[in-house]
Structure formats: structure tokens, C-alpha cells
Amino acid sequence: MKINGKDQTAIWVKNKTIYFIDQRKLPFAYELYTAKTVDDIAYAIKDMVVRGAPAIGAAAAYGMALGCKTPEKTATILRSTRPTAHDLFYAVQYMLNHLKNGKDPFTVAETFVQDIIDRCRRIGDHGNTLIKDGMRILTHCNAGALATVDYGTALAPFRAAHAQGKNIFIYADETRPRLQGLLTAWELHQEGIPHVLIVDNAAGYFMQLGQIDMVITGADRIAANGDSANKIGTYEKAVLAKKHHIPFYVAAPISTFDKSLATGKEIIIEERSPLEITHPFKSQLMPEWVSVKNPAFDITPSELVTGYITETGVIKKLL
């Protein structure tokens, strides 16, 4: 991705220290978080220094490299950080399998991360084939380079289309309560892609006006039947898209598909702290007596999905 005109990834390693763009500080400040221990990595995942399924997977791979002397203990720590994103568990198991071969752990982790980047680039190429000149596209949450190390999943087709000279316009939902839509807006701003940020509840309004031609979102876990877990509010956008006959695509690498789960009903939905709603950005917004429920994800049934944009191509229907 571009940051101030220069190419940059969201995560990188140097001298066995892992560097993250601290997503908690964006878009107001560009700061780095450094991780030198497994506990540092676990904190980064749990406290959302890093977020987005593929990026969490990359962080877990580096975490396994840091904790390579006690792989099973390290795996337990990392698996306990966040329950919904499949890439986290996929990365941990990948590292466990490859560390048995006696390979250098950081070389194994770097190979894993570079593969994520390549998969996202190909997702962009395949997704670009769906985008026509002049399209107006809605996305929810952030599924860009910040969430995937580079390129993105949902944002990768936008980057590819823009690079090809297509005239596109992106509607980015603000995505409460953590406002990850601001991260999407920040990435689009850095790339020079025309866009606007809208409140979550405005998506239906713009669809009703005929100003949205397509919806592309990411996913944190996809069940065998195609039901997908993504940031809370995604299901609503899928229902609205169906009502208004707008194509709804899910962009994700194959590592996000969890064939061990038959349907989305088996996906564990993470419940996060009420403070994210009552005290956003550490500022009290609501009185203490307000009772809050804060699910981080919802499930979009496969029947609402037009297709899945993967590194192998666009899948219109899962078996």
C-alpha cells in the first residue's frame, strides 16, 4: 500500500522484532508497535493493534516464530486471543506443521506472510474483472492492506481497478463501534481513490437512491456452506443489497474458509467490551447505567452472497 506516496506493508520483521502499524492510532497518527515476545504478539491481536483476519494470521505466524522453543504453549496463548477469525488458527497450525521439519522459524513465517500478500494481489486481479468503469461500490469495515499486510481483500479489487484507470467511487461505512471505516477511508485517501465515508445506517438510503452498484466486503471465517462471518453490520448490508438487486461479493483468501464448520451457526461470535461503545477513544459517551451488548461480528447466509472473490478466481456457488 501507499503511505505518503511510498510503498509500505502493515507488518514487517527486522532482527527478530515484529513491527506493526498501530491501527488503534490511525487515522489521526501514524505510529509503530513493536513486538519482541509472544506476549507482545498476543496483546497486539487481542487489543486490536492488528486486526483483519489475514493480518491476524500473519501476526500469529510471527508469534509462533518468536515462541518456537515452546511451540505448543505458544500455540495455546495465540489461539486464546480472538475466537472468530479462522486465519489465526490456520496460521498457528501451519507453523506447528512446518516447525517439525527443523526449518528456520522466521523463514517459515516470512514465507507464510509473503504468500498472504500474493493471495491478496490475486484477489484484486480477479475482483477487478467484476468492476466496470463508473461503478459505485459499498464496503463495510476495513479489508484493506492494514487488515491483510498488503493489497487487502475487499479493497484489493479497488486498487487494481484504479491502477487500470477505471473511474470508480467507493462508499465506506463508518463501521461502529471502532470506526474501522476510517481506516478504509485513510487507505483510499493514500491511494487517491475517490470515496466518501457514510454512517452505517445510511447504506440503505444510498441503495434506494440507486447510487450503489455493488457491495464487496471481507470475511473473518467462511463455513463450508458459504455462510460468512464479518464485522457486525455486514448482514444488514447483504439483506439491503438483496432487496435492491445489488450484487454482494465476499472477498477472502482460501485460508478463511473453514470446512470443519457446516454452517455459520457453528461460528463463534466474539463479544467485546461494552467500553468500546460507552467510552469510544477513551471518552465517556454514555452514563454508567447504560447496559450494552457488543458482538463484534455477524453471519451473512450464503443465499445472500452473489459470489466469493478468492485468489483462485470468483466462486459463484460453494458445494
**What's the CA gap between 58 and 294, in Å, rounded?**
26
Fill in the amino acid letter for 7: D
Strand partners of residue 139: 172
CA distance 273 to 290: 13
- The dihedral built from the CA positions of residue 29, 82, 198 and 152, taken in this order, carries a sign that is positive
One-letter amino acid for residue 84 of the chain: T
- Taking the C-alpha atoms of residue 37 and residue 183, their distance in angstroms, rounded to an integer, is 27
Q: In sequence order, what DSSP letters do the residues of 200-235 get, joined into one string?
A: GGGHHHHHHTT---EEEE--SEEETTS-EEEETTHH
Alpha helices for the chain (secondary structure H): 38-46, 53-66, 71-79, 86-99, 105-128, 145-148, 156-163, 181-191, 203-208, 234-243, 275-278
22 an active-site residue?
no
Q: What is the DSSP letter of 269?
A: P
Map grid coordinates 494470521 to a residue: 57
- Catalytic position from the list 22, 87, 173, 220: 220
| Cα–Cα distance measured from residue 64 to residue 247, given in angstroms and rounded to the nearest whole number | 39
Q: Are 225 and 260 in contact (CB under 8 A)?
A: no
Bridge partners, 271 (sequence order):
295
Q: End-to-end CA distance of the chain: give it in Å, rounded.
A: 34
Measured at the alpha carbon of residue 274, what is the angle toward residues 287 and 82, in degrees to the nearest 5? 170
Active site residues: 220
